């Protein structure tokens, strides 16, 4: 069964304290892995797509990496405005018509 697990569930950081969020997955083939950011009262906002092991994408203080079994979202010198819930989702391969499998998310709080 296709599955996505994110850890930790919650993370508190001081401003400037770098850390990483983990997304582990088991899927029948991987067509893509997506990272989203969700602010309270808002819908998930697309951040990155990763397609193959070894790929990396960066945006401001965020960098996403991908291996064959997991993805990391590295946050360098975070600021309070980076506080949000970060969601990971995978698009399985063969036989799938576009249905994403989402993890439960990691809620990040960055204190000034």
Partner 1 sequence: DAGVIQSPRHEVTEMGQEVTLRCKPISGHNSLFWYRQTMMRGLELLIYFNNNVPIDDSGMPEDRFSAKMPNASFSTLKIQPSEPRDSAVYFCASRNRERGLNQPQHFGDGTRLSIL
Interface map 8-47 toward partner 1 (x if CB under 8 A): -----------------------xx-x-x----xxxxxx-
Rounded to the nearest whole angstrom, what is the least distance from the CB of residue 43 to partner 1 in the complex? 3
Contact flag: residue 100 with partner 1 (CB under 8 A): yes
Dihedral sign computed on CA atoms, order 28, 108, 37, 47: negative
Site size with partner 1, rule: CB under 8 A: 23
Q: Tell me if the bond preceding 8 is cis, omega within 30° of 0.
A: yes
Q: Which is nearer to partner 1, 32 or 76 (CB)?
A: 32
Distance CA 68, CA 87 (A): 18
Task: Give me 111's structure tokens.
Answer: 């204190």
């Amino acid at each position: 069964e296709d599955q996505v697990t994110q850890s930790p569930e919650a993370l508190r950081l001081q401003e400037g304290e770098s850390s990483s969020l983990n997304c582990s997955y088991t899927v029948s083939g991987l067509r893509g892995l997506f990272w989203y950011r969700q602010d309270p009262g808002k819908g998930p906002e697309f951040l990155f797509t990763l397609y193959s092991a070894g790929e990396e994408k960066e945006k401001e203080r965020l960098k996403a990496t991908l291996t064959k079994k997991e993805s990391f979202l590295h946050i360098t010198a975070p600021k309070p405005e980076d506080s949000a819930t970060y969601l990971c989702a995978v698009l399985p391969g063969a036989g799938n018509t576009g249905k994403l499998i989402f993890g439960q998310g990691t809620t990040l709080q960055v204190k000034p």
